Chains A and B, each alone.
Chain A
Amino acid sequence: MQKNKLNLDFGLVAEARQSAARIAADIQPFIDQHSSVTVERTVARLLGIDGIDELERPLPNIMIEAIKKEGGLPLGAAYWIGRAMLATGKTPQEIAEGVAAGEIELAKLPEKSVEDIQAAVNKVAVKTVERIRANRAHREDFIKNVGEGPKPYLYVIVATGNIYEDVLQAQAAARQGADVIAVIRTTAQSLLDYVPYGPTTEGFGGTYATQENFRIMRRALDEVGNEVGRYIRLCNYCSGLCMPEIAAMGALERLDVMLNDALYGILFRDINMQRTLVDQYFSRIINGFAGIIINTGEDNYLTTADAVEEAHTVLASQFINEQFALRAGLPEEQMGLGHAFEMNPNLKDGFLLELSQAQMARDIFPKAPLKYMPPTKFMNGNIFKGHVQDALFNMVSIMTNQGIQLPGMLTEAIHTPLLQDRALSIENARYIFNNMRSISDEIEFKEGGMIQSRAQAVLADAAAMLKDIEQEGIMSTIEKGKFAGVKRPMNGGKGLDGVVVKDALYFNPFIELMLGKEGE
């Protein structure tokens, strides 16, 4: 029996879910027929290609550029790498180095049968998949043997630009009680059509996501996790023009949480919608397989749209994100669907509306580790009032059993958090979570009262919106600006030239291996 504190019509919930499922199903043939440069670079990475040339160009980019130049991309990177392996007897990395040095021309190598190519590639692919499976087991063992913090997990951001400074701040945050450390990416990394390489010490408002930086932070968090007796989760940003590549790097280096929204890049980074829909699918397959919790970005809607008037768009998007995630084999337990405490603090009874919204998400997505984002839009530099706003936010979170909590910073809108800001913020959350630990078991909401009625109305609006989208199609809906009030054309935005129609012989070994269709 589903908990139903808000007296929601679960028939309507099921209808909304079915609409969302049809919306996602409707676009799946498009996704299946296409690939992109970053999807193929991801295949190259998962086959072991890494590193840069003397001009600091990543080898996966050099490989895919070389394939694309010959018009070979419709066959996929796996085909070309496998063919080169058979022809030269070299490893994928050696082949990539050869291509970078101009010593190997892929198209000029002798042709091989597709069956032989697939067999050769699969041998390498299976090893990578095993490594990721082992990472997942390692995480589970760590949690079993050492432990983890109670939910809501406290999710804390570091953003110094220097990975070594980030390590210092992250370890401090873990000692203060943080459960998840998110390393914010440098401004504009989402618009790079490559992933930088190596440890980095300079960034604006964040630190480059590189595989080496992932490794450095992972090591630091395991170290402090052992010290404090809790597994400390590591989070990064699987969004932008390199969604699946970041997912692959995270899977290889045992990240635990990834920002990974199906629509965010389209709406907020003006990345082409065809590109994003193709990219998000493979990125979510990887995240799903690696046991990584994804965080979706509905909270961002409310930084542009009004949190009261547009509440139903958040719920509608959560339904859509859920269905896209299920299609990519990502279980509900890994769906950190997003929402936020962003209503105007001057609103009469605003707290009740926030409580209603958060409880509604909890009841509709009972297994999802919901990600709850703090007030930002109405934080204005008055740190004293801000600290109180954050306290109210923390109260809603514990009253509604949220999964992942990004504690608000009293200095939001002033600067990226200082060491002391983060300590005060965690202290605030821990105080309230502990002091109100069992409150959600104790409260019920008045039948037909403001909180119940509000949730019912938002659900009805969301279900109606999903019906509309189902008629209209997701692409056309985005073109018309129904999410977050942002309009994006089908052929506009960044990255469209990286989308390619697959050949009949195209193959990507990781989709089958990771979706569990390898005959386990």
Chain B
Amino acid sequence: MSADGRSTTSTTAHSTIDLTKIKPYGDTLNDGMMQFSFTLPVPYSDEAREAARLYLLKMGVDEPQISHYEDLGVGYTFFVCYGKGTHTVDFTKIEVPKVDVEVMDKYGVEDYIKENIKRPVVIVGACTGTDAHTVGIDAIMNMKGYDGHYGLERYEGIEAYNLGSQMPNEEFLAKAIELNADAVIVSQVVTQKDVHIPNLTNLIELIEAEGLRDKLVVVAGGPRISHELAKEIGYDAGFSTGTYAEHVATFVVTQMVQRGLV
């Protein structure tokens, strides 16, 4: 029986999925099955277990089952639970802003630069502010790259400068100006208490104050950076988890051509 009151009762065929009302899938269409794990700040007890069950009910989860719970050692209890989600989402109405370019591979980017830009593209990157975690910027920029995807340093036609971590925005921008950068890319890994937002905003303000906003492609990246967030605070693009050097390179070179920065 389908729970959403649609006329069809078939729950197996792909064609019967109502995209205006989707819900989680366990092993049967529209069963709503979801897994949860969380901690409640109460001692391990039958009452704690009941509290977890009630919490899931309040979240709109039907038939909550506490499959496991254990004492965390400070009077708190950890739960693993399953239950059936009751809410639905209209998939047909969803719009997510994306970096809208066809991604080229390394060779594609190199050819594109030769044909359309005809000079070296200078890209300067860093982990700015107090962030000391270079894993993101290294993955994109360093020769070796990440997971089999070469970094920008290895791209023919790109001069990549990785300025490392904890780079003050002022110094970063000064260096970008000195190197005559076409693009600056900023990585932010530490995002506790949203420290990355004021830091990213500060950089954009500095770039605007220098009158360079139109002349530079400005890109942010990090596990909690979305394209939408980056656009909102004035960047040209934002890249999140799953990004490789070719994504960033493609965006930078196509932007340069589109904006006549060649």
* Binary contact readout A365-394 vs B (1 if CB under 8 angstroms, 0 otherwise): 000000000001110110000000000000
A420 to B71, CA, bound (A): 10
Q: List the B side residues contacting A378 at CB < 8 Å.
A: 147
A304-B74 contact in complex given A270-B164, A420-B38, C-beta closer than 8 Å: no
A205 to B135, CA, bound (A): 16
List residues of chain A with CB under 8 Å of any chain B CB: 161, 168, 171-173, 175-176, 187-188, 190-191, 204-205, 268-270, 303-306, 344, 346, 376-378, 380-381, 413-414, 416, 418-420, 423, 485-486
A420-B135 contact in complex given A191-B166, A269-B166, A381-B241, C-beta closer than 8 Å: no
Residue of A nearest to B39 (CB): A420
Q: How far is the CB of B193 from chain A (nearest CB, A)?
A: 6
Residue of B nearest to A415 (CB): B192
Q: List the B side residues contacting A419 at CB < 8 Å.
A: 39, 72, 74, 76, 78
Greatest chain B CB density within 10 A among A188, A377, A420 is at A420
Partner of B135, one of A204, A344, A377, A418: A377
- Confirm or deny: B43 has a beta carbon within 8 angstroms of a beta carbon on chain A: no
A303 to B190, CA, bound (A): 16
Q: How far is the CB of B166 from chain A (nearest CB, A)?
A: 6
Pair A344/B147 contact, Cβ less than 8 Å:
yes
Q: How far is the CB of A170 from chain B (nearest CB, A)?
A: 10
Pair B39/A188 contact, Cβ less than 8 Å:
no
Q: How far is the CB of A167 from chain B (nearest CB, A)?
A: 10
Q: List the A side residues contacting B51 at CB < 8 Å.
A: none
Q: List the B side residues contacting A175 at CB < 8 Å.
A: 73-74
Pair A306/B132 contact, Cβ less than 8 Å:
no
A381 to B223, CA, bound (A): 9
Provide the main secondary structure of the chain B interface. Answer: loop
Q: How far is the CB of B36 from chain A (nearest CB, A)?
A: 11
Q: List the A side residues contacting B144 at CB < 8 Å.
A: 305-306, 485
Pair B130/A204 contact, Cβ less than 8 Å:
yes
Pair A187/B241 contact, Cβ less than 8 Å:
no
- Confirm or deny: B134 has a beta carbon within 8 angstroms of a beta carbon on chain A: yes
Within 8 A of A (CB), among B31-45: 37-39
A418-B223 contact in complex given A187-B131, A188-B130, A304-B134, C-beta closer than 8 Å: no
Given contacts A176-B73, A187-B130, A380-B241, 7 further A-B contacts (CB under 8 A): A161-B192, A168-B74, A172-B72, A205-B192, A303-B134, A419-B39, A423-B78
- Residues of B within 8 A of A (CB-CB), count: 28
A268 to B132, CA, bound (A): 8
Q: List the B side residues contacting A191 at CB < 8 Å.
A: 166
Residue of A nearest to B130 (CB): A188
A-B contacts at CB below 8 angstroms, number: 79
A376 to B189, CA, bound (A): 13
Which 6 residue pairs across A and B have the least CB separation, nearest first? A175-B73, A188-B130, A172-B74, A172-B73, A187-B130, A420-B78
Pair A303/B166 contact, Cβ less than 8 Å:
no
Q: List the B side residues contacting A204 at CB < 8 Å.
A: 130, 190, 192-193, 195
Q: List the A side residues contacting B147 at CB < 8 Å.
A: 344, 346, 378
Pair B192/A418 contact, Cβ less than 8 Å:
no
Within 8 A of A (CB), among B122-159: 130-132, 134-135, 138, 142-144, 147
Pair B166/A188 contact, Cβ less than 8 Å:
yes
Q: How far is the CB of A251 from chain B (nearest CB, A)?
A: 26
Partner of B72, one of A187, A377, A416, A423: A423
Residue of B nearest to A170 (CB): B74
What are 8 A-B pairs at a CB distance below 8 A? A187-B132, A204-B193, A268-B165, A270-B166, A304-B134, A413-B223, A420-B72, A423-B73
Q: List the B side residues contacting A381 at CB < 8 Å.
A: 223, 241
Q: How far is the CB of B226 from chain A (nearest CB, A)?
A: 14
Q: List the B side residues contacting A171 at CB < 8 Å.
A: 73-74
Q: List the A side residues contacting B38 at CB < 8 Å.
A: 420
Q: How far is the CB of A417 from chain B (nearest CB, A)?
A: 12
